[in-house]
Structure 1
Amino acid sequence: MPGQEFLVRGWTDTGSGPWQVGVIADREKGTILRVGPADEIVDLPGREKAEYGASLRILPGDVNAHSHPEQSLYTGLVDPSWDLPTWCRNTIYRHSVELAPEHVYLGCCRAFAHMLLLGVTTAAVSFYCHNRRKNELDREVIRAAKDTGIRLYFGRMHYDLVSPEAYPEKRASQESYFETIPEYEAGFRELFAEVGCDLLVAVAPALHSFHANTLEAVASGIRLGEETDRLVQFHLSEDRGDVSLCLGQFGMRPVEVLDALVRSGRVAGLSVLLASDGIWTNDREKALMALHGIRLVLNPRMNRRVKAGRADLPAYMERKIPLFLGTDGEASNEDLSIEGERRFLAEAFPDVDPAAIQDLGRGDFPFPHCPVGRLVPGAGADLKIVGPSGVRDVYVGGNLVVQNGRLLKLDLSRDVETPLKALLSDW
């Protein structure tokens, strides 16, 4: 019906140059109905429309495929010179045990608002700060996504290891994240059923890492992803510690351990894994990732800033491993811009085809109700309108959520920054 449809007309970029295009979105389903030459798409009575001039570009909204939005709480506390252990000690291990619902909600509102203003329309979140509150804090992440208007792929993350040798603050934090496998599965299933078929929110199982999960938890999480047809987020070889851990415990490197789960029949496959970082994988591991269809999210600016290392982009591209881009948390990065990640990679890898780098993160991200990240029929109607001065307008599911560089669903200063300043005054 025309009343449910919305037409966006303007210019987009193609391999052969600018193209004047019309995009028809179905607001009820939140998807793109048609993309075609602007002069072939006629106006219909009752159909709303927006038209943009030749100085602007209609582009698919970006997918931030790995983020920790609650960490935006820590942006005022960090020193850019910190390495990863120092960063963790002074942020999450100092304060995460204190997180109450208002901390999580406002921190995530800050992160999601900043993402939208930078043209990010989908946030894949890895959230492990359950703090012995079952799903109470998880619901605050979802509430923040709905109140800002971003599309949310919510990974309810499992954490089931506590380091006996950890310093007191780290141990207390790990204990607050800890859930047994039955506790985790019950919490996940409750939230999964609660959210149901929301068009803009999807709940998925997620795993933290080999240093925060038992092998049985890893296998259980992968099986849960297979059962629910959801991608399972997992930190893979972000630092050398996970390599040393796996070699010490299993006599194999991390991806070899995952491969052994398949060979032993403990999991059917690994294609549900959405790994992140992948810095310390060797050639055999990369070959196994390609064999098993593991997707990988690169977080290059964060990895550089916390001195974790650098993922071998050309090697992953050579093996045609599906690649996405993420920012991790705002407090361990310069900002939450996916375009910023592309620019960084272009400078870091001058021998890689610039067009290939510009395509990174623009493939179909398999959001359950519709793929997102591309300007094609059937994809999510998530658009960013970009001009010489940056992002102007943003649409999510066909609905305008940023107009002229301003959020429409909340006032960032009044609704987020002012209460956050009061809330964090004693940090």
Structure 2
Amino acid sequence: MATVKGDVHDIGKNIVGVVLGCNGYDVIDLGVMVPSDKILSTARNEGADIIGLSGLITPSLDEMVHVAAEMERLEFNIPLLIGGATTSRKHTAVKIEGNYTGPTVHVIDASRAVGVVSKLMNEDEKSDFVAGVRDDFKQIRVTRAKKTAITTLSMGAARKRKFKVDWSNYPVPKPNFQGVKVFEDYSLDELVDYIDWSPFFHAWELKGVYPKILSNEKYRDEAQNLFDDGQALLQRIVTEKSLTAKAIISIHSAQAENETVFSEGVEFNFPRQQVDKGADQPNYSLADFIAPKDDFLGMFAVTTGHGLEEIVKEFEDQNDDYNAIMVKVLADRMVEALAERMHQRVRKEFWGYASDEQINTEGLIREKYVGIRPAPGYPACPSHEEKDKIWSLLEVEKNTGITLTETRAMYPAASICGWYFSHPESRYFSVSKIGL
């Protein structure tokens, strides 16, 4: 098993590895950012029965396609398992399976892994199982081919349907602070109340919303045990300052033209929706929320991942896989809390366009505040390459220690970056992908 080249995320993969190990399977975990040649040479040298690939960011999908093609070129015939948050049955069927004649299976989560591996390792069940998967993938491709083509607009036509703001009647809020602020060791204790606990349970594949999940008839005992363990480890992290929280924010003058926002000599490219949604529906670009002149754009990068490797190693040296995974899950929750807290301070303090905001934790989680903080690589701005501009302008690596891999995954993995938009009508949306 491996997280593919350029990707640093491994919580889901690690859970799968533990689950398989507990069911008697020998798992060789190659870690993160593993190139295809290492994956395949190890599989061949160790006589692996199955190869599993994982990834979280969208560029990892292309790397999985490459690994599948390499398996075909090198005449492998063992099953290839595909998993991770960015993967799907559709992508596996349409983009990956066609590159490899051996069995290719998409595994939706850790709870399915044992059943899939069991069938692939059982000669009496394998052929029927593989045939069923191939039939399923074939049907996905057939259905996709029959779909009515989505009508798209030319860029010129899409621009005519842009989201229109009457800038002449909108007083752009002037920030209380302009420039760059660095926070080298943000208080972990301050972040605890900003944690959204629902994704904590989702990471362990318990579906539900906190705190209701603690009274869920199906999950409550397991959920309560997880929550208690998580709270205990979180308290240790905060008390011992095992993790270091770092942040950098900026607010600079900005102006927009079409799909480009200009700020501090940098051009941010925010693609426009080009699907024909009807003349009465806007075709959004994030640039629509920035005025043609005399506006402002914020940026940020935050991490709670410094120190994480040392804690993980401590647990792994004790053969404590559970807490090694738990601390990574908590680091992810902490960095989301840091992003939430910094955005709140920007709205109320540094930019100050919502200085009288009174929103509780639930309201923050539900994004009841004014403004948005979109991130590169997400639906409104799918390109991870925009991160390069943030890194350059804010000197992110120098100021926070967050680096970018070749596919622009952030390291440490518990890191987030993005922009701050203040306009009250700014919103999240999806720019349709080409292909899938």
* Larger RCO of the pair (alpha carbons < 8 Å, separation 6+): 1
Q: TM-score range by the shorter chain?
A: under 0.3
The structure carrying a bigger helix percent of its residues is: 2
The structure carrying a bigger strand percent of its residues is: 1
